[in-house]
Amino acid sequence: MKDSIDFGSMDISKLFRKLLIPTVLGMIFSAIFIITDGIFVGKGIGSDALAAVNITAPLFLVNTGVGLMFGIGASVVASIHLSQGKVKVARINITQAVVVSSLLLIAYAAVILCNVEKIALLLGSSPRLLPLAAEYMYWFVPFLVFSALLSSGMFFVRLDGSPNYAMVCNIIPALLNIGLDYLFIFVCKWGMFGAALATSLGYIVGAVMILVYLMQPQRILRLYKVKLSWKSLRLTLRNTGYMCKLGVSSFLCEAAIATMMFAGNYVFIHYLGEDGVAAYSIACYFFPIIFMVYNAIAQSAQPILSYNFGAGHPERVRAAFRLALLTAISCGIIVFAVTALFSSSIVSWFIDSRYPAHDLAVEGLPLFASGFVCFGINIVSIGYFQSVERDRPAMAITLLRGFILVLLCFWLMPLVCGVPGIWLAVPVSELLTFLFVLTLYCRGKRS
């Protein structure tokens, strides 16, 4: 399973490609995981079901954010320890991340399950969508911990030098989800229960694959025996606190998508009703997919950046960052062009043209996609600052793009531009964030 990777001496462009290709392919299959859910729910259950799933999406994104926070934080710390020859400490770090994140998410799921209908209404569900949203949550929320373990485990497998195995851990759950979605929704006619169960089973399989890898004794990075002494617990709290500090920007990136969905659902239902939410849900299925691609670019650069930062090789750090930025910009241009040219076909994957939401989405999706280039630069920049232990700039960019500006734009843009302004709220917030990132770069060069 090892892929002959040397983070400290291999040519940067070759090393980046070696990590990028399987990581992007794995993320593409994760994207297929999400798309299939949308297509099968929209085609097999209906427009309201698609809107109901979108109502519950922020819960999943917060959960994934926790997985990414611990995954990136532990991976950065473990990378630096590996570059200094501290293998045992690196193993302890990833074990602490897996155990603590799992316990937190089990508690998170329990709280949601005790308040399903209240939380659905809080997330913006209308009375018409409430039964569908509640049914989906009852069968999806109990298994959230597995999706987070899959998210965080990818970082540890790649850092151990096995990006191809990490890719397989994405591909198999995605293929399983496709097959089960078709079986449960179209053959068994299980509706929202079937859609939730298919997704949950896919995540369970992926998480088990990660655990099997990390429990094998021949791995450099593997799970370490947990100690329950007071000293060990104090060290665990200290270490996980530092991991969270480094990785919190990734959590906030996911929480930012949840905020975008939450605010958008309220604004769309206010201006356009349930059909507006259904149209917006297609953009919300699309947006995390683009985020996954950019995340794959940032995650491919992360072990290179962290390892060489820890080893004291700044020129290799700069070279890896430049490659990541150029890749993100190229992807953003291509995805925007494809979305603008084929928005009607993309929307038709999810819902039939007989639904009013279809035409709303066709008109709005190109506007929404106009911010993808700036979005890519912002995400890669956050990943860079995290990887070199500069958590403050990463936090500032994340808070600005994901919360402050996006909420401000959702409030102002409809007042200024009407319905097109709702679709442009996210692109405008990404553009303004990019200008802030550009300011940070210029100041860094001067200093």
Interatomic CA distance for residues 407 and 262, integer angstroms: 10
Interatomic CA distance for residues 354 and 383, integer angstroms: 42
| CB contact set of 234 (below 8 Å; sequence gap of 6+) | none
pLDDT above 70: residue 2: no
Angle between helices 230-311 and 314-341 (to 10 degrees): 90
Mean pLDDT across the chain? 88
Cα–Cα–Cα angle for 334, 53, 249, rounded to 5 degrees = 60
Indicate the pLDDT class of residue 125, thresholds 50, 70 and 90.
confident
For 281-320, what is each residue's pLDDT tens digit? 888 877 777 888 898 898 888 888 988 888 888 889 999 9
Please give the single-letter amino acid code of residue 147: S
Indicate the pLDDT class of residue 256, thresholds 50, 70 and 90.
confident
pLDDT above 50: residue 48: yes
Residue 203 is predicted with a pLDDT of: 92
Which tops the pLDDT comparison, 119 or 446?
119
65 to each of 36, 162, 178, 317, how far by Cα in Å? 21, 23, 24, 25
Please compute the mean of the pLDDT values over residues 320-332 and round it to a whole number. Answer: 93
**Spatial CA neighbour of 50 closest among 68, 37, 61:** 37
Residue 4 is predicted with a pLDDT of: 57
Interatomic CA distance for residues 434 and 69, integer angstroms: 22
Which tops the pLDDT comparison, 287 or 212?
212
pLDDT above 60: residue 268: yes
Please compute the mean of the pLDDT values over residues 114-141 and round it to a whole number. Answer: 90
Longest dimension (CA), the chain: 64
For 389-418, what is each residue's pLDDT tens digit? 788 888 899 899 888 999 999 999 999 999
274 to each of 58, 138, 247, 360, how far by Cα in Å? 18, 22, 36, 12
Q: Is there a contact between 308 and 7 (Cβ–Cβ < 8 Å)?
A: yes
Please compute the mean of the pLDDT values over residues 94-115 and round it to a whole number. Answer: 94
Q: Is there a contact between 304 and 9 (Cβ–Cβ < 8 Å)?
A: no
Length of the chain: 447
For 164-178, what is each residue's pLDDT tens digit? 898 899 889 988 988
Which tops the pLDDT comparison, 303 or 109?
109
Interatomic CA distance for residues 415 and 95, integer angstroms: 50
pLDDT above 50: residue 58: yes
The HSE-up count of residue 219 (CA atoms within 13 Å, CB side) is 23
Indicate the pLDDT class of residue 1, thresholds 50, 70 and 90.
very low
Please compute the mean of the pLDDT values over residues 223-227 and round it to a whole number. Answer: 82
Interatomic CA distance for residues 77 and 121, integer angstroms: 40
Residue 447 is predicted with a pLDDT of: 62
Question: What radius of gyration, in Å, describes the C-alpha atoms of the chain?
Answer: 21
pLDDT above 90: residue 184: yes
Residue 287 is predicted with a pLDDT of: 77
